[in-house]
Structure 1
Amino acid sequence: MDVIATQSLSPPELATGEGAELRKPHEMIVMVPRSKRVTLTGRRIYNALMQVSQARLAAMDTMPAADYMFEAPLPAILRTTGSSGEDRTAAKRYLKEMRGLEVDWESTAPGDGVKWRGFSMLSEVAIEVRNGENWVSWSYPPTIMAALREPKRWARIDLDVLASLGTYAAVALYEICARYRDNPGGVTSRKPVAWWADALSQVPAGTERREWRKFKNERLKSAIDEINSETDLEIELIEHKQGRAVVEVQFAVRRKRVAPKLRQASDVVDANLVLRAESLGIRELKLEGLIKEFSEDAVRVNIEVLEKRAANNKLREVDNAYSYLRSLLRNGGLDANDPPVKKGSRDVESELRDETISASELTAAQAYAARAEAAVPVAEWVNARMASIREELLSLSPERRQIFVDAAIEELTGKGMMTAVISRRVAQGDVLHGMVGAVVLGHYARAVYGPDWDKPDTEDMFGMRSANAP
């Protein structure tokens, strides 16, 4: 009996700290090509596109229109797949072929069979050069879009793990076995040998198959060895015979007690992080330098600070987003060029100077922690305030909301910040996220609540304080 472990159905989100995680719907695990051969690089790229799309969908309040185009820099996509720059030409060719490449999506559950027959992998795909770099835009058939946004059952696929596997059969087999990682029974479904040959092959179904004995010796054994040595799983082939002939196959799946060491996070820059940075005007090469110097986690946190800064027009304009981000990172989340963050009637830096041990005497880690802790009340209040105002924006009629969208577009255009990425998102109606969303929110908040909409009172943050408190 095929027992499926219960998984959380919370919205998919981007994994941090480890590899980029794809919550892959069960009905999309087995991909059998119908018209053309699928390459190893192509399958990796498709998984990376799905991971980027899933993270983007998780940030949206509603399902976007059927023709919504996702976007990402091609070099970042390739890095998440473990591919080199030499694969760029092949990747561009394969991406263009994906729209016409039809596949059958099959479930691994017993008796389910084909879930979706003859689906194109992508509805539309385009590659264009922006500032000397290749960018990919793509969309999905509505059924695939819905499955990515709200998968009912899914397998956790770590893209770093897939990048460590060097054959198509190993990648396809690992994805199937990953579904059973937490299965109490510890085995996959039993399937005919022909099913496994199709599921693990790059060539279209219906082509002449190798007999099972040869397929096992030529492809399957090396794939099993690769998975057992390079991933977090240990798998074992189980063959079921009728007489001397093998007719059905399944795999025992066990999670390793100690997972193998994969590539460091700094070696693979998250495509979503690159996308956010470039939307702010920070080139990928400069972002990589900051990640190497300060860590990807620190950069991700401070990118969010920079995005929210766009909503605060009472502070001076950020002329150089890269310099501003670097200043945030060097100063533990506080920009030395900005006015100090207020905490009641006293500022953060004053309180740090009043400590028995001054900030200059603390270690870098302690100083970072002290600044971050002191700034938390203000940041929490502002975040809650912005969330509340954003809900108000969502409740407006489209016509009323468009007034503030138009004002935001006019402001961004005047500042020379209306990039191709932002323009495309606005055209698609995605106006409440990222840079555009922050500026729209700012215009609405000032119109309704006045210029001090984001200035908290002391009591708002800390509750009632004594009248003679400092």
Structure 2
Amino acid sequence: MMVPRSSRVTLTARRIYTVLLHVSQTRMLAMDSMPLADFMFEAPLIAILRTTGSDGTDRTAAKRYLSEMRSLEVDWESTAPGDGVKWRGFSMLSEVALEVRRGETWVSWSFPPSIMSALRDPQRWARIDLDVLTRLSTYAAIALYEICVRYRDNPGGVTSRKPVGWWTDALSNMPGGDRREWRKFKNERVKEAVEEINRETDLEIELIEHRQARVVIDVQFAVRKRSRHALAQTHDEPVDASLRLRGKTLGIREEKIEILIGEYGEDRVRGKLDLLERRAANDRLRDIENAYSYLRSLLRDDGAPERGDAPVRVAATPTPTPTTTPASEAARSREEGGAGDLIRAMKREVEQLEPAQLQVWVERALQELAAKGLLTAVIRRRASQGDVLHGLLGSVVVHAYATATHGPDWNSPA
């Protein structure tokens, strides 16, 4: 729970801050360890603004919001049962900077150590779905959703039970919270927030009041996760805003991300973005020169598109008949001029190698991938498990073997 202490927080500023937290946690999850104290997260300013629902043109206002976050002091309190630890007297952002790169404004920022630790701990911080930001229209609704989303998979199905003053602090954007009596605050802020969350998000929540005599002293919320089908009945599913933002932060234009989503589906693009982010966070490997090409190669390597008009590609590896030797089959494939047949023929030759012979080509392929900056943790794990003839690693193994055995023109038609 975040409670402003020095000044009021606007709805737009809260949205921007939520996006900064989301970007930062995504980056941190891709890192092997906690970043150093002087580490700065970064993203294109226009991508941050668009993700919050802005058209991306109000850069002057965005700079003002970022400046306010740098000076705004907050209290940060865990919502976990029995965890009453508060962190007081720090700013929403430790440092923020804007710079122009190739004509585009980028924002860099850092957090106080307490927030960094919370982001690193998935039990303490749960990411909000960024497309929800554009659907919720009040500060109270966003703040309440951020609290309740932590409990969507909780077996108990309820949030922590807290005093009414705790909730008025948590759902108010004013310093010191809203000190009106609970009945008025509930009617003017909470009811509207509950209705909007139930209507616009993947959660269904219900207010639970605990009374002593006739006075409400404690409050909690029942939380139930709605199915994606039920949500789709009330909303056309948009392109996941977080995917666009993550791609943009890596240097991939939004329209290209949307093309890949249309071709391969959101789930597959999301998974490959995870790999790309982990690769980009690995300081021991060379920088990726073209993030879009790298991402597209990961998707192509993983199999056929899930949607679109592209034909389904089947990586068939039929067993050679006893009357056909690998060399003669490769020659026949070359004569017929089929590139796909040539590759399959080479793969069959590699499959028939002795394990020690195959390992020679695997080592060579790993060296080649490392030299190109493409040796990911996933590829290394596959190699250690003996899964060396699938995906990008398998392609490089086959090409290395074929080039050395049949010459550099092995895949050229006769």
Match of residue 238 from structure 1: 208
Deviation of 1:61 after TM superposition, in Å, equals 2.6
Question: Is 2:204–2:224's contact at 8 Å kept on the other side of the alignment?
Answer: yes
1:184 to 1:458, Cα distance in 2 relative to 1, 3 A: same
Unpaired segments ≥5 residues, structure 2: 280-287, 305-316, 318-325, 344-357, 376-394, 403-414
Deviation of 1:248 after TM superposition, in Å, equals 1.5
The 5 Å alignment of 1:27-42 reads 30-42=1-13
> Does 2:356 align with 1:385?
no
Question: Is 1:303–1:325's contact at 8 Å kept on the other side of the alignment?
Answer: no
Match of residue 275 from structure 1: 249
Distance between the aligned counterparts of 2:370 and 2:257, measured in 1? 34
Percent identity (aligned): 60
The 5 Å alignment of 1:57-456 reads 57-85=28-56, 87-205=58-176, 209-257=179-227, 258-261=229-232, 264-266=237-239, 268=241, 269-276=243-250, 278=251, 284=253, 287=256, 290-291=259-260, 294=263, 297=266, 350=338, 352-353=340-341, 385=366, 456=397
Distance between the aligned counterparts of 2:162 and 2:168, measured in 1? 10
Distance between the aligned counterparts of 1:47 and 1:73, measured in 2? 15
Deviation of 1:176 after TM superposition, in Å, equals 1.2
SS in 2 for 1:176: helix
Give the letter for the 1:266 counterpart: V
1:113 to 1:228, Cα distance in 2 relative to 1, 3 A: same
Deviates more, 1:227-236 or 1:256-265: 256-265
Distance between the aligned counterparts of 1:136 and 1:128, measured in 2? 7
1:68 to 1:222, Cα distance in 2 relative to 1, 3 A: same
1:459 to 1:254, Cα distance in 2 relative to 1, 3 A: same
Give the letter for the 1:200 counterpart: L
Deviation of 1:267 after TM superposition, in Å, equals 6.5
SS in 1 for 2:31: coil
Distance between the aligned counterparts of 2:299 and 2:206, measured in 1? 47
1:62 to 1:256, Cα distance in 2 relative to 1, 3 A: closer
Distance between the aligned counterparts of 1:114 and 1:324, measured in 2? 44
Aligned length: 329
Deviation of 1:251 after TM superposition, in Å, equals 1.3
SS in 2 for 1:134: strand
1:252 to 1:354, Cα distance in 2 relative to 1, 3 A: same
SS in 1 for 2:64: helix
Distance between the aligned counterparts of 1:151 and 1:302, measured in 2? 19
Question: Is 2:71–2:91's contact at 8 Å kept on the other side of the alignment?
Answer: yes
SS in 1 for 2:128: strand
Question: Is 1:228–1:235's contact at 8 Å kept on the other side of the alignment?
Answer: yes
Deviation of 1:73 after TM superposition, in Å, equals 0.6
Distance between the aligned counterparts of 2:13 and 2:364, measured in 1? 40
SS in 1 for 2:239: helix
Per-residue Cα deviation, 1:264-319 (whole angstroms, up to 9, x for no partner): 4537352221122x2xxx6x3663674576467577759989x99xxxxxxxxx99
Give the letter for the 1:35 counterpart: S
Distance between the aligned counterparts of 2:158 and 2:15, measured in 1? 25
Root-mean-square deviation (Å): 4.7
SS in 2 for 1:104: strand
Deviation of 1:246 after TM superposition, in Å, equals 1.7
Question: Is 2:15–2:133's contact at 8 Å kept on the other side of the alignment?
Answer: yes
Deviation of 1:235 after TM superposition, in Å, equals 1.2
Unpaired segments ≥5 residues, structure 1: 1-29, 309-317, 335-342, 356-376, 391-407, 409-431, 435-453, 462-470
Distance between the aligned counterparts of 2:65 and 2:111, measured in 1? 16
Radius of gyration: which is bigger? 2
SS in 2 for 1:241: strand
Deviates more, 1:343-352 or 1:145-154: 343-352
Deviation of 1:330 after TM superposition, in Å, equals 10
Deviation of 1:162 after TM superposition, in Å, equals 3.3
Distance between the aligned counterparts of 1:320 and 1:459, measured in 2? 23
1:214 to 1:153, Cα distance in 2 relative to 1, 3 A: closer
1:91 to 1:353, Cα distance in 2 relative to 1, 3 A: same
